[in-house]
């Protein structure tokens, strides 16, 4: 062992001894490698560290493959998929329990939620999927979450209004950026980097706590120009209706009901489309060949009058009723 190693080396070595998972160990080993002077006397040490890193990388990759199989990617269901992300103890699990049938573990200590847990949230006549996720504080989790977050339609950043909320939002955005997920800001150019742009909103939870009003002002000051901010208490069930509507609006979707000639509209099964969709898009969503065969449609809702005949290019509005004619 060369005697001239700086104190940082021994600090990294200490981190290596206390590291709990392969990623942390790799990080410590890489730090040791970077600090160690390179000359003939340290050749063998260098080689040893490199071999350790290679072995740990394989181990980490195996672990991730297992975790992915174990359900870190949640199958999308309903009108849209919303990921609840944020630091530990913000109340993500409590929120999932408050608005869905799911019953995740809720506890005042961190890391109760170990894998993403889905639940269906009813909003008016549709169901939106919410996914509770492990806290972003853990590097391992961040790596695993990347995949499932990229598949989401909306990312809801959940923060605790009882403690410094802007720091929590900042840390969450940083963790997301690490997975190359960035907020999609309407009107902004999004092609500059190799990032995945996702709609995001901020949920300030624990509005029942003492600091909540002050926290909300801080959040608004710093983030209102970028995100919609909704204040709720998952525990006391306050603000949940506003939140549901905000989520529906942020998903940027609309509902269309179909009717057959001479019958009433089928209000039980709305067709879910992106905002800006046309009659042609609605036909294609019902059946892939249907759009070609479609001649015209009769429209109740966004037409000039009820039962107006419209073409394939007519842009739909939420809650329109459509009667297709082939």
Ligand X SMILES: Nc1nc2c(ncn2[C@@H]2O[C@H](COP(=O)(O)OP(=O)(O)O)[C@@H](O)[C@H]2O)c(=O)[nH]1
Say whether residue 113 binds Mg ion (CB under 5 A): yes
In the complex, minimum distance from the CB of residue 201 to ligand X, in angstroms, rounded to a whole number: 16
Stretch that binds Mg ion, among 109-117, 175-183, 258-266, 291-299 (CB under 5 A): 109-117
Stretch that binds Mg ion, among 105-113, 138-146, 151-159, 230-238 (CB under 5 A): 105-113
Q: Quick one: which of 16, 41, 17 has its CA closest to 26?
A: 16
Say whether residue 206 binds ligand X (CB under 6 A): yes
Instruction: Report the DSSP pairing between strands 181-183 and 196-205.
Output: parallel
Nearer to ligand X, 56 or 234 (CB): 234
Say whether residue 92 binds ligand X (CB under 6 A): yes
φ, ψ of residue 287 in degrees (nearest 5): -155, 140
Cα–Cα distance for residue pair 203/245, rounded to 1 Å: 13
Nearer to ligand X, 92 or 198 (CB): 92
Q: Of residues 23, 53, 85, 93, which one binds Mg ion by CB under 5 A?
A: 93
Structure letter (DSSP) for residue 75: P
- Report the DSSP beta bridge partners of residue 198: 183
Residue closest to ligand X (Cβ): 91
Nearer to ligand X, 28 or 136 (CB): 136
Helix (H, G, I), strand (E, B) or coil at 258: strand
Cα–Cα distance for residue pair 240/246, rounded to 1 Å: 10
Nearer to Mg ion, 94 or 218 (CB): 94
Say whether residue 94 binds ligand X (CB under 6 A): yes
Say whether residue 100 binds ligand X (CB under 6 A): no
Q: Of residues 9, 32, 33, 91, which one binds ligand X by CB under 6 A?
A: 91
CB under 5 to 8 A by kind: which of ligand X, Mg ion, none does 129 bind?
none
Please provide the DSSP assignment of 95-115 as one string: HHHHHBS------SSS----S
Write down the residue that tokens 């995001």 correspond to.
200
Nearer to ligand X, 83 or 106 (CB): 106
Query: Looking only at Cα atoms, what is the longest distance across the chain?
Result: 91
Say whether residue 142 binds ligand X (CB under 6 A): no
In the complex, minimum distance from the CB of residue 92 to Mg ion, in angstroms, rounded to a whole number: 5
Stretch that binds ligand X, among 87-95, 169-177, 191-199, 269-277 (CB under 6 A): 87-95
Helix (H, G, I), strand (E, B) or coil at 119: strand
Cα–Cα distance for residue pair 162/108, rounded to 1 Å: 13
Q: Quick one: which of 148, 133, 138, 137 has its CA closest to 96?
A: 133
φ, ψ of residue 177 in degrees (nearest 5): -60, -35
Applying CB under 6 A, the residues found at the interface with ligand X are 88-94, 106-108, 112-113, 135, 205-206, 208-209, 233-235
């Amino acid at each position: 062992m060369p005697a001239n190693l700086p104190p940082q080396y021994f600090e990294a070595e200490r981190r290596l001894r206390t590291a709990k998972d392969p990623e942390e160990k790799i990080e410590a080993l890489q730090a040791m490698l970077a600090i160690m002077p390179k000359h003939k006397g340290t050749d063998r040490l260098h080689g040893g560290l490199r071999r350790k890193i290679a072995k740990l990388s394989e181990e980490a990759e195996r672990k991730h493959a297992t975790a992915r199989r174990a359900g870190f990617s949640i199958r999308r269901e309903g009108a849209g998929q919303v990921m609840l992300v944020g630091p530990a103890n913000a109340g993500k699990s409590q929120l999932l329990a408050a608005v869905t049938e799911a019953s995740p573990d809720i506890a005042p200590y961190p890391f109760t939620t170990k894998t993403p847990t889905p639940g269906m949230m009813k909003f008016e006549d549709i169901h939106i999927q919410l996914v509770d996720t492990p806290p972003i504080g853990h590097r391992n989790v961040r790596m695993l979450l990347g995949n499932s977050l990229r598949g989401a339609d909306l990312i809801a950043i959940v923060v605790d209004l009882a403690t410094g909320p802007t720091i929590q939002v900042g840390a969450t955005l940083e963790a997301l950026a690490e997975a190359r997920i960035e907020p999609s800001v309407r009107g902004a150019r999004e092609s500059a980097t190799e990032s995945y742009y996702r709609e995001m909103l901020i949920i300030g939870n624990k509005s029942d706590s003492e600091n909540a009003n002050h926290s909300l002002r801080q959040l608004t000051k710093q983030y209102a120009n970028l995100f919609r901010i909704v204040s709720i208490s998952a525990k006391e069930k306050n603000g949940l209706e506003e939140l549901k509507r905000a989520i529906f609006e942020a998903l940027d979707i609309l509902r269309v009901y179909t009717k057959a000639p001479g019958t009433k509209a089928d209000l039980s099964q709305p067709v879910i489309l992106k905002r800006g969709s046309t009659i042609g898009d609605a036909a294609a969503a019902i059946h892939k060949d249907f759009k070609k065969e479609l001649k015209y449609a009769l429209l109740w809702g966004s037409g000039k009058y009820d039962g107006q005949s419209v073409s394939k290019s007519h842009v739909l509005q939420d809650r329109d009723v459509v009667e297709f004619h082939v």
